[in-house]
Chain A
């Protein structure tokens, strides 16, 4: 029995079905786990994604790209390989890809988290023979708090800033985390304002049926906004940019799993760091791996060596699968990144460069 997937120059390839999963080059047929830039690239011949994510993917790969979709759990046969997509809980429309062929089942998680998120379907464990998992936060120092507790922290910070007449600026990925945060904060504290890159995705989320609180846009040629009361949600690339000058006195906070570490918080020089991630924390990774009941585990992007060694010591048949996915941009990504406003905020800053 040969493997259902192999890493090629163009990406994760299934030769039996002649398609790729999240390819990093233009290929004729691509199955997309989710629309973040390191997983969804434009220019492929044909795309397949989970139906809740169609509009989000379209906003990323262009209006003319041919996109097919599957409902969660629905099965499609591609050249004799059975393909189905299952919720990964990462962002709207994120899916684990289940492949079944000649009695063997593989699951590719893409990025995933186990925490509750009101803006997307929750992670669903899928049993398989081979489980391909991400490992962005695959060290035991990464353990997330209850999302409600983090939301309270953010609300407290926002309220304190408002009372001091400062605008609160919360830096978060434009796709996924920005919407999740908007849905989690208490809109009675003050107005919420979205950066252009965030609003593009807010529109896609709303058009897909996700309920979000009112979020104001920044009009072109705006001179002054926020009034010292608002919460501004913007991608990390605006840190230190002139765009922030719109809001007068600000307190700038970063929402990222990397904010768990004091050294990272200090180095980035933000006023505040909130530990919020759309990736699984260390216990989450172990839980998902166990729930898959897989006899073989392949570990991609993140702390691959470490997680693989731990699994091997625990008697799991585990190995590293080298890919070019990057997961949550590494702690120092935004230092080097000062891109234009519409630029995607996931960059090629891998935590560990693939060999």
Chain B
């Protein structure tokens, strides 16, 4: 546990990739296999379960510290991190704690002080928690609290973990990345397998590491002739790999979770493709010919099984845009154009959802009719355009189609690992924009703890400002500091951590879509709102109105789904 805590703080203290890999390598070289497996699970950001509710932890910590609960809450609002807050308010441990710690490895510590607690009574939990508190120094408590509450996030990518492990094991980093995918490493045994130089038995179910695109940084015309590129729609769904090997099919999210249970119709459809096939693509929610968007897909994705009603309300399909394994062979090294040819012969139907009816007729595929069931497995058609202007014109139709823009992929590109710039670009549509006024501000968390960086923004309606969006900054660090000062100086009222400010500051707000909403007081919900510019040149009276926003809804056809509940 002590060794893992040291690793956590070493990773926390540096932003250098090399130093991170060094720390990881030194950790794995020295760690026992069961501890290493446990560390991989935590570092990979895999789902962690909460052993003790934070409400109970706060109460116990307040009592242990001899302070009222409200004071713990005040501290939390100031610190911005509950694990750290509790670690700091608790009485300092006995003098020998710094040297002894809990005296067990990460895996044993996780098992006996966290996993075993899940079924325990509150009283039993409390005994364990208070015993561990006495054994750990504050910096170790922070890490343990994060593990205990299932919120341990460490700033290393899976690629870096794979790189460090590959160096320790002496295998190729790409092989290691592949071995960590899917169910990956869970215990000492699977860790030993992952570290072996021999091919492993579990390879059969594993997906490949995802290749990721970057946002385009130049004018598309600077990318050279369009003939070097393949353009596809940028679908508004959930990235996934469909692995068809042996008797069964598995569907993996980009978070490496097995999501078979959430998309049974896709799994059923996968029976139609041959053994030894791995498809990369997007899970989309589609009703009729209409794309329902990411929020609809996410209603499905978190589930182990899907109730019939939801299956009918949010029908899902898999749209493949790449073929990674063909007839049992890894073909990621072939050029994209070759992989696509093979993909289109394996999955012949193109997805035409979102297109104008005329266009889908032209392609000749009736998307859904009463007679034939909806096809669940399709490929993503190329967007045709022999000049950048033509592609730009196609991209301009994105919002109406319910897609996010266009993907540009180099015809000759191999399927890489992680985010490698240069071959795959996202060319997203320009966001919608409106000028808004700062109404409320709340202190941020983590790096922005103690600074007011969460903003509630409003527009005019009937002579009053009504909140329409929350944005978590989007400003430069120096601007946040400056705005924090303005927030403190213009506070009219405080509701817990939320400050009501005088409406004095105007911001340009960008968002991806807008829809009517019954959950928001303003009656509209904007999607992915973020601040793009601080309009110091404008006064609040120059900000936009609710009528402007409603007009945007009527202008577009996109079915944006409600954002999470807005406060206050």
Report whether B67 and A140 are in contact in the complex, using a CB–CB cutoff of 8 Å: yes
Establish whether residues B450 and A349, one from each chain, have CB atoms under 8 Å apart when the complex forms.
no
Which segment, of B166-174, B397-405, B482-490, B554-562, faces chain A?
B482-490
B488 neighbours in A (Cβ, 8 Å) = 350, 352-353
A266 / chain B contacts, CB cutoff of 8 Å = 12, 446-447
Mind listing 13 A-B residue pairs with CB under 8 Å? A139-B74, A139-B75, A140-B65, A140-B75, A141-B79, A142-B88, A261-B450, A267-B451, A303-B74, A309-B70, A331-B450, A332-B484, A335-B477
Evaluate contact between A267 and B477: CB separation under 8 angstroms: yes
Most buried by B among A303, A309, A336, A353: A353
Question: CA A179 – CA B263 in complex, angstroms?
Answer: 67
**Smallest distance from the beta carbon of B183 to chain A beta carbons, Å?**
33
* B89 close to A (CB within 8 Å): yes
Contact check, B481 vs A313: say whether CB atoms are below 8 A apart: no
Q: Kindly state whether residue A310 has any CB partner on chain B within 8 Å.
A: yes
Contact of B449 among A143, A261, A349, A353 (CB under 8 A): A261
Which residue in chain A gives the minimum CB-CB distance to B89? Answer: A140
Residues of B within 8 A of A331 (CB): 450
A260 within 8 A of B: yes
Q: Is the C-beta of A221 less than 8 angstroms from some C-beta in chain B?
A: no
Known contacts A261-B84, A335-B478; is A349 also within 8 Å of B71 by CB?
A: no
Write the chain B residue with the least CB distance to A140. Answer: B89
Contact pattern, B 117-150, Cβ under 8 Å of A = 1, otherwise 0: 0000000000000000000000000100000000
Is A263 interfacial (CB 8 A cutoff)? yes
Chain A residue at minimal CB-CB distance from B66: A140
B339 → chain A closest CB, angstroms:
42
The answer on a CB contact under 8 Å between A306 and B485 is: no
Closest to B489 in A: A353
Those of A187-205 within 8 Å (CB) of chain B:
none
Q: Does B80 contact A (CB under 8 A)?
A: yes
Give which listed residue, B68, B445, B450, contacts A310 with CB less than 8 A. B68
Give the chain B neighbours of A264 by CB distance below 8 A: 449-450
Partner of B78 from A141, A313, A335 at Cβ < 8 Å:
A141
- How far apart are B219's CB and chain A's nearest CB, in angstroms? 33
Whether B450 and A263, one on each chain, are in contact in the complex, defined by CB atoms closer than 8 angstroms, is yes
- Cα separation A155 to B568 with both chains bound (whole Å): 49
Q: In the assembled complex, which residues on chain A have CB atoms less than 8 Å from the CB atom of B489?
A: 353
**B92 interface hit (Cβ, 8 Å):** yes
- B352 adjacent to chain A (CB < 8 Å): no
CB-CB under 8 A from A140, the residues of chain B are 65, 67, 71, 75, 88-89
Hey, which chain A residues are within 8 Å of B447, CB to CB?
263, 266-267
The 4 nearest A-B residue pairs measured at CB? A263-B449, A141-B88, A353-B488, A332-B481
A246 to B447, CA, bound (A): 30
Known contacts A336-B478, A349-B485; decide if A260 and B450 are in contact (CB<8 Å): no
Cβ of A335 and Cβ of B481 under 8 Å apart? yes
With beta carbons under 8 angstroms apart, the residue of B78, B81, B485 that contacts A262 is B81
Which of B142, B450, B481 is within 8 Å of A336, CB to CB? Answer: B481
B448 CB within 8 Å of chain A: yes
- Docked complex: B471-518 residues within 8 A CB-CB of A: 477-478, 481-482, 484-485, 488-489
A266 to B448, CA, bound (A): 9
> What is the predominant secondary structure among interface residues of chain B facing chain A?
helix
Interface centre among A140, A142, A306, A349 (most CB of B within 10 A): A140
Distance of A332 Cα from B481 Cα, bound (Å): 7
- Bound: A69/B478 CA distance, A: 42
Is B260 positioned at the interface, with any CB of A under 8 Å from its CB? no
Q: Which residues of B contact A310 (CB under 8 A)?
A: 67-68, 71
B71: chain A residues at CB < 8 Å are 139-140, 306, 310
Query: Does B85 lie at the interface of the complex (its beta carbon under 8 Å from any beta carbon of A)?
Result: yes
Residue ID in chain B nearest A355 by CB atoms: B491
Known: A140-B89, A336-B481; 11 extra A-B contacts, CB below 8 A, are: A140-B71, A143-B92, A262-B12, A262-B81, A263-B446, A264-B450, A306-B74, A309-B70, A332-B484, A349-B485, A353-B485
Chain A nearest CB from B83 CB (Å) reads 10
Interface positions, chain A 286-315, Cβ under 8 Å from B, are 303, 306, 309-310, 313
Q: B477: which A residues are within 8 A, CB to CB?
A: 267, 335
**Smallest CB–CB gap between B368 and chain A, Å?**
51
Chain B residues with Cβ below 8 Å from A262 are 12, 81, 84, 142
Q: Which residues on the B side are within 8 Å of A306 (C-beta)?
A: 71, 74
A261 touching B485 by the CB < 8 A rule? no
Asked, given contacts A310-B71, A336-B478, A349-B485, whether A141 binds B89 with beta carbons under 8 Å apart, the answer is yes
Interface residues of A in 125-180 (CB under 8 A from B): 139-143
Query: What are the residues of chain A within 8 A of B449 when measuring CB–CB?
Result: 261, 263-264, 267
A139 and B70 alpha carbons, distance in the complex (Å): 12
0/1 per residue, A210-221, Cβ < 8 Å to B?
Answer: 000000000000
Instruction: List residues of B whose CB falls within 8 A of some A CB.
Output: 12, 65, 67-68, 70-71, 74-75, 78-81, 84-85, 88-89, 92, 142, 445-451, 477-478, 481-482, 484-485, 488-489
What residues on B are CB-neighbors of A350 within 8 Å?
Answer: 488
Q: Hey, which chain B residues are within 8 Å of A260, CB to CB?
A: 88
B88 to A, closest residue via Cβ: A141
Cβ contacts under 8 Å, A303 to chain B: 74
Binary interface encoding of chain A residues 306-343 relative to chain B, with 1 for a CB under 8 A from any of its CBs, else 0 = 10011001000000000000000001100110000000
Q: Which among B70, B71, B92, B488 has the highest number of chain A CB atoms within 10 Å? A: B71
Bound state CA distance, A71 and B362, in angstroms?
98
Check B448–A336 contact: CB distance below 8 A.
Answer: no
Cα distance A347–B448 when bound, in Å? Answer: 21
Whether B68 lies near A313 (C-beta < 8 A) is yes
User: Are A263 and B79 in touch, CB under 8 angstroms?
Assistant: yes
Nearest CB on B from A55, distance (A): 34
Tell me which residues across on chain B come within 8 A of A336, comparing CB atoms: 478, 481-482, 485
Looking across the interface, which residue of chain A has its beta carbon closest to that of B142? A262
Question: What is the bound-complex CA distance between A353 and B448, given in angstroms?
Answer: 19
B496 to chain A, nearest CB (A): 13
Determine which residue in B450, B451, B478 has the highest number of CB atoms from chain A within 10 A of its CB, and name it: B450
Cβ of B446: which chain A residues have Cβ within 8 Å of it?
A: 263, 266
Please give the distance in Å from A146's CB to the nearest CB on chain B.
11
Chain B residues near A139 (CB, 8 Å)? 71, 74-75, 78
With A335-B478, A336-B482, A353-B489 known as contacts, the answer to whether A263 contacts B81 (CB < 8 A) is yes
Instruction: For B74, list chain A residues within 8 Å (CB).
Output: 139, 303, 306
Bound CA span A282–B533, Å: 40
Mask of A41-81 contacts with B, CB within 8 angstroms, 1/0: 00000000000000000000000000000000000000000
Give bound CA distance, A141 to B142, whole Å. 13
Nearest Cβ on chain B to A124's Cβ, whole angstroms: 26
CB distance from B191 to the nearest CB of A (A): 30
**Taking CB as reference atom, which chain A residue is nearest B9?**
A262
Query: From A262, which residue of chain B is reached at the shortest CB distance?
Result: B84
**B80 contacts across to A, CB distance below 8 A:** 263
Complexed CA–CA distance, A223 and B136 (Å): 48
List the A residue with the shortest CB-CB distance to B72. Answer: A140
Within 8 Å CB of B75, what residues of A? 139-141
In the assembled complex, the CB of B90 is this many whole angstroms from the nearest CB of chain A, namely: 9
Q: Contacts A266-B447, A310-B68 given; indicate if A261 touches B478 (C-beta within 8 A).
A: no
CB distance from B390 to the nearest CB of A (A): 46
Contact between A267 and B78, CB atoms less than 8 A apart: no
Residue of B12, B78, B488 most packed against chain A (CB within 10 A): B78
CA distance A336 to B481 in the complex (A): 8
Which residues on the A side are within 8 Å of B78 (C-beta)?
A: 139, 141
CA distance A313 to B449 in the complex (A): 27
Q: In whole angstroms, how far apart are the Cα atoms of A142 and B138 in the complex?
A: 12
Once the chains are docked, how many angstroms separate the CA of A306 from the CA of B446? 22
Taking CB atoms, residues of chain A closer than 8 Å to B448 are 263, 267
Task: State the Cβ distance, B118 to closest chain A Cβ, in Å.
Answer: 28
| Contact partners of B85 in chain A: CB under 8 A | 141
Identify which of residues 260-288 in chain A touch chain B, using a CB-to-CB cut-off of 8 Å: 260-264, 266-267
Residues of B within 8 A of A142 (CB): 88
Chain B, Cβ-Cβ closest to A272: B13
